[in-house]
């Protein structure tokens, strides 16, 4: 049988072989199809610099076929949470270099997720206490996470059309910085209710200029970002993350099928490394149609366990599967999936912020 052009053994559909087979995406040879999903851990230091402990955290998980790092803001304006790392300063580049060196020494592959949170921020996290920015001045429901605890979201400032080239340029510079830091590629975060997702969906984008209204207009900013990032580091080293029906961060769209089919088709024509999709509801959307529209390597993500992962690979509906929380408590997740060993449970109290506890102290199998 064949999955996205990759030949699988005839017995792969009835065995777990598919999950542990090597695969090539862009210029990268991956040793298996298990991806570590991006997960915010809020352990960056002063000036949003990744700390040495992050190098150990990612090194421990380097047996994944591919690691997608925690989201990292492309500029000070892009920040939305305390303790999240950036990729816009020399100190941040040096901090990430320690991470990529450690992962590569362990034989792993790692890409950096590029992030601008848009309206999901708070003035206390913004330069000079400014308002967060967004496609439209629509306040999200809920609370921002700040250094002094939860604070109600504020109504963001609508970005002026003339400001958007500067946003695009910030993505380009961040991608170049990621290359300098030694990453194997970058993933553009256009999911989960952050800035690029806010432009895509009509629940958050009420603009009347060339970036609002029609599906084509709402996809414009993402495609401009993809174009400049691809030119900066090579399209084969660029992935995009989407969440077509995700409601996180107060998101909605009136016609997600039409919107994301258009987005997937446009992305598929650009020779990207992969499309990474957060499948919020396994039965709530035609994920197979989205993969067909993209036409390239598709990474499925969304509460997958081993059985579902093997099934989705063997059916040809996905080419790789990303696991999130299981990688927190199981640095050797690939080995445990392969041997059938019981997975350790991660401590949710230590997910966001703190020290090594709940971060680098989960034991691997003997």
- Report DSSP letters for 94-107, one per residue: HHHHHHHHHHHHTT
Q: What pLDDT score does 153 carry?
A: 98
Percent of the chain at pLDDT exceeding 70: 96
Is residue 9 pLDDT above 60, yes or no?
Answer: no
In a domain, 194, yes or no: yes
Q: Does the pLDDT at position 201 exceed 50?
A: yes
What is the distance between the alpha carbons of residues 126 and 73, in angstroms, rounded to a whole number?
Answer: 12
Q: Measured between alpha carbons, how far is 33 from 31 in angstroms, rounded to an integer?
A: 7
Range of the domain at 329: 2-350
Q: Is 228 within a domain?
A: yes
pLDDT at 326: 98
Percentage of the chain lying above the pLDDT 90 cut: 94
- Give residue-wise pLDDT tens across range 165-190: 999 999 999 999 999 999 999 999 99
Q: Mean pLDDT score of the chain, rounded to an integer?
A: 95
Q: Is residue 81 part of a domain?
A: yes
Name the pLDDT band for 162 (thresholds 50, 70, 90). Answer: very high
In a domain, 355, yes or no: no
* Cα–Cα dist 73/92, whole Å: 11
Residue 243 lies in a domain: yes
> How many structural domains comprise the chain?
1
Point out which residues pair with 241 in neighbouring strands. 189, 276
Q: Cα(212)–Cα(200) distance, rounded to whole angstroms?
A: 9
d(CA 50, CA 46): 9
Q: What is the pLDDT of residue 2?
A: 29
* 296 class by beta-carbon count within 10 Å (0-12 exposed, 13-18 middle, 19+ buried): buried
Sequence-separated (6 or more) residues with CB below 8 Å from residue 116: 73, 74, 75, 77, 78, 167, 170, 171, 189, 194, 195, 196
Residue 5 pLDDT: 33
The predicted model gives 15-19 an average pLDDT of 77
Q: Is residue 150 predicted with pLDDT exceeding 50?
A: yes
Q: What is the CATH number of the domain that holds 126?
A: 3.20.20.70
The DSSP element (H or E) to which 333 belongs, if any, is helix 333-339
Q: For residue 32, how many other CB atoms are within 10 A of its CB?
A: 19
Assign 16 a pLDDT band (cuts: 50, 70, 90): low
Cβ–Cβ under 8 Å, residues 138 and 155: yes
Closest C-alpha among 71, 156, 166, 167 to residue 121:
156
Token output for 69: 């790092």
Q: Within a domain: residue 359?
A: no
Partner residues linked to 151 by β-bridges:
144
CB neighbour list of residue 22: distance below 8 Å, 6 or more residues apart: 29, 30, 31, 32, 65
Residue 358 in domain: no
Residues labelled as active-site residues: 194
Q: Dihedrals φ, ψ of 35, to 5°? A: -110, 135
Residue 331 belongs to some domain of the structure = yes
């Amino acid at each position: 049988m064949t999955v996205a052009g990759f030949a699988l053994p005839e017995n792969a559909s009835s065995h777990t072989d598919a999950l542990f087979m090597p695969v090539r995406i862009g210029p990268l040879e991956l040793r298996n199809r298990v991806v570590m999903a991006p997960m915010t851990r809020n352990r960056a230091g002063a000036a949003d610099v990744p700390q040495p402990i992050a190098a150990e955290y990612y090194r421990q998980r380097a047996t994944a076929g591919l690691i997608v790092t925690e989201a990292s803001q492309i500029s000070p304006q892009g920040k939305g949470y305390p303790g999240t790392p950036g990729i816009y300063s020399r100190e941040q580049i040096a901090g990430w270099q320690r991470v990529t060196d450690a992962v590569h020494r362990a034989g792993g592959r790692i890409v950096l997720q590029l992030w601008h949170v848009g309206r999901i921020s708070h003035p206390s996290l913004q330069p000079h206490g400014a308002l967060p920015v967004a496609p439209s001045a629509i306040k999200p429901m809920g609370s921002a996470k700040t250094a002094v605890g939860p604070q109600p979201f504020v109504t963001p400032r609508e970005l002026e059309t003339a400001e958007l080239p500067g946003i695009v340029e910030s993505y380009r510079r961040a991608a170049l910085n990621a290359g300098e830091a030694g990453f194997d590629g970058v993933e553009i975060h256009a999911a989960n209710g952050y800035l690029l997702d806010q432009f895509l969906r009509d629940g958050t984008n009420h603009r009347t200029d060339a970036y609002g209204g029609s599906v084509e207009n709402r996809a414009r900013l993402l495609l401009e970002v993809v174009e400049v990032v691809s030119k900066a580091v090579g399209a084969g080293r660029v992935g995009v993350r989407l969440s077509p029906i995700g409601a996180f961060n107060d998101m909605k769209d009136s016609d997600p099928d039409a919107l994301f089919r258009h987005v997937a088709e446009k992305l598929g024509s650009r020779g990207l490394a992969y499309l990474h999709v957060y499948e919020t509801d396994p039965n709530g959307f035609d994920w197979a149609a989205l993969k067909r529209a993209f036409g390239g390597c598709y990474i499925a993500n969304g509460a997958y366990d081993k059985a579902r992962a093997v099934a989705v690979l063997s059916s040809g509906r996905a080419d790789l599967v990303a696991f999130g929380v299981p990688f927190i408590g199981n640095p050797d997740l690939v080995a445990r999936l392969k041997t059938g060993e019981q997975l350790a449970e991660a401590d949710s109290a230590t997910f966001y912020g703190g020290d090594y506890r709940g971060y680098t102290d989960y034991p691997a199998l003997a």
